[in-house]
Structure 1
Amino acid sequence: MFVNFDTISDDAKVWIYPSSRKFYNSEIDEITEKVKSFVENWKAENPDFKASYKILHNRFIILTADDVATPLNNKDIDASVSFILELQETYKIELLDKMNVCFKQGEYVQYKDLKDFKKLLKNKALTGKTIIFDNLLTTKQDFENFWEIPIEESWYSRFLKK
């Protein structure tokens, strides 16, 4: 059952999918509708299942599911990955590449592969104060508290020159 994102338990699972490009304004409504439809129908046979989503910065799709009362199985996870793969194909974007880094530069969100990110740090184009998005978080509580943090406070800090 689709519920408001804020009502999902802090222990709920979260999946963060960063897009390789910003969603075009002409795509936002359609992507939002597709994501909402997926969430509404995900495990629809179980009325106790609660799930939600957010689309942030016109670049990130965040899915969350409270899997305490109704645990997710491999079929449920496969359904979500298949859905994300469909979005990738439809919109010609990358959403599953975990070897990329998203960070803020001014008001813009940048998406770089890890190699280019390391070069930016080495060349001091980014600092430890630069806000980074940790897209590897797995719970809603971590998402809400540690998704947008300075590089120096994230696991990416290992790439900063000491």
Structure 2
Amino acid sequence: MSTIQQQLPADFHPQSRVWIYQSNRPFGEQETKEINEQLHQFTAQWLSHGDKVKGWGALFFNQVIVILADESQAGVSGCSTDSSVRIIKSLEQQYDVNLFDRLLLGFLVDGKVQLLPMVQLPYALEKGKVTMDTLYLNNTVQTKAELETRWLVPLGESWLKTRLAKVS
């Protein structure tokens, strides 16, 4: 069992929806505690059309927020999705970070997230800063099952492989 699987709630359906927000910087120890507490408070009172959403959220690698919603009992409406985005925007302001930059690629190096602008990926590969075996944070995963099996993948097995083939 991967460490990711061990950190996720076991009682959530494999098709639970996932939202991933990668920060442009790591959070400190105190910030991490505060963010995890705020995520816990948010998911404990998360509602969709008055029904309780079975939600969960946590910070991974001190830099990546993961939110889950198990829709096996109650679906997540547009309004409840908006409320999750509001908490993320609030965290952005509170900690002066960017959590919505989709052009910043995350790689896991020695247990820490290393960020790289997408346009610099070919150069980083050429210089050996990353390789096709470097773990890439595939933040496009949409379900808990995908999060467990396809979130941390070698760069050469990610969707970026086809983009890199066009460059080389």
1:106 aligned residue: 110
1:20 aligns with 2:31: no
1:156 aligns with 2:160: yes
The equivalent of 2:4 in structure 1 is none
Equivalent residue, structure 1, for 2:9? 5
**Corresponding residue of 1:120:** 124
Q: C-alpha deviations, 1:37-87, integer Å up to 9, x for none?
A: 11111118424x311122211111100001243111111111111110000
Task: Give the TM-score of the pair, scaled to structure 1.
Answer: 0.89
Distance 1:117 1:5 in 2: 34
| Aligned position for 2:51 | 46
Aligned position for 2:34: 30
- Consecutive unaligned residues of structure 1, counting only runs of 5 or more, are none
* Number of positions where the alignment pairs a residue of Structure 1 with one of Structure 2: 158
* 1:14/1:139 contact within 8 Å kept: yes
Secondary structure of the residue that 1:7 maps to in structure 2? coil
- Structure 2: give runs of 5+ residues left out of the alignment: 1-7
Q: 1:132 corresponds to which residue? A: 136
CA contact (8 A) 2:36 2:57 kept: no
1:39 and 1:111 map into 2 onto residues whose CA distance is 28
CA deviation after TM superposition for structure 1 residue 122, in Å: 3.1
Does the 8 Å CA contact 2:39/2:56 hold for their aligned counterparts? no
Question: Does residue 58 in structure 1 map to residue 66 in structure 2?
Answer: no
Contact 1:5 1:53 in 2 (8 A): no
Q: How many percent identity over aligned positions?
A: 26
Note the aligned Cα RMSD (angstroms). 1.8
Q: Distance between the aligned counterparts of 2:127 and 2:19, measured in 1?
A: 32
Residue type of the alignment partner of 2:73: A
Deviation at 1:127, TM superposition (A): 1.0
Return the alpha-carbon distance in structure 2 between the equivalents of residues 34 and 7 of structure 1: 21
